[in-house]
Amino acid sequence: MTLAAIVAHDPNLVIGKGGDLPWHYSEDLKYFKRTTMGHPIIMGRVVFEELGGNPLPGRENIVLSRSSNYDHVPTFSSFDKALEYLKEEEIVFLIGGGEIYRQFLDQCDKLFVTEIHQNYEGDTYFPEYRDEIGTTWKEIKREDHDKLSFVVYERM
């Protein structure tokens, strides 16, 4: 199974503010949708609550939580249990948030990064990975747009 993280961050690695995204870029939401569509997505409980407790359509939604259980989505109290459940899958996306990226980025094989060009204020960050580009991470795709860039990295 390929484990891929998908994230949008600003130049300072800000990814969230007050439990929400600090920005709204419809281009990025469309990219997220077409990249993850048809594949399982794993998220932290905070992200799931942010979605209003509604799973994203067309993808198997998996929630990580040590305290909550949801009837309508598989919820796991550990990442290993979630991976065991998904072991037959070709690719699985980690869609955040901060706690989830921080703990499991080391296990990811691919990174789908949206670089947001503008700076934002925030309280949640993606872990620093850019110092490992060229040693751990190899850029395999880059699409530069006016306000953002879509970049894909593969573990070397």
Ligand X SMILES: NC(=O)c1ccc[n+]([C@@H]2O[C@H](COP(=O)([O-])OP(=O)(O)OC[C@H]3O[C@@H](n4cnc5c(N)ncnc54)[C@H](OP(=O)(O)O)[C@@H]3O)[C@@H](O)[C@H]2O)c1
59 neighbors 40 (Cβ within 8 angstroms): yes
Cβ atoms < 10 Å from Cβ of 28? 18
Q: Is residue 86 a contact residue for ligand X (CB under 6 A)?
A: no
Residue 112: closest CA among 147, 142, 135, 86? 142
Q: Is residue 46 a contact residue for ligand X (CB under 6 A)?
A: yes
Q: Is residue 55 a contact residue for ligand X (CB under 6 A)?
A: no
Site mask for ligand X (CB under 6 A), range 135-154, x = bound:
--------------------
Q: Is residue 66 a contact residue for ligand X (CB under 6 A)?
A: yes
Least Å from the CB of residue 125 to ligand X: 9
In sequence order, the 6+-apart residues with CB closer than 8 A to the CB of 77 are: 64, 65, 66
Least Å from the CB of residue 103 to ligand X: 6
Sign of the Cα torsion 103, 109, 112, 115 reads positive
Q: Is residue 87 a contact residue for ligand X (CB under 6 A)?
A: no
Q: Is residue 42 a contact residue for ligand X (CB under 6 A)?
A: no
Q: How far is CA 56 from the centre of its chain?
A: 13
List interacting residues with ligand X (CB under 6 A): 7-8, 15-16, 19-21, 43-47, 50, 64-68, 77-79, 95-100, 103, 124
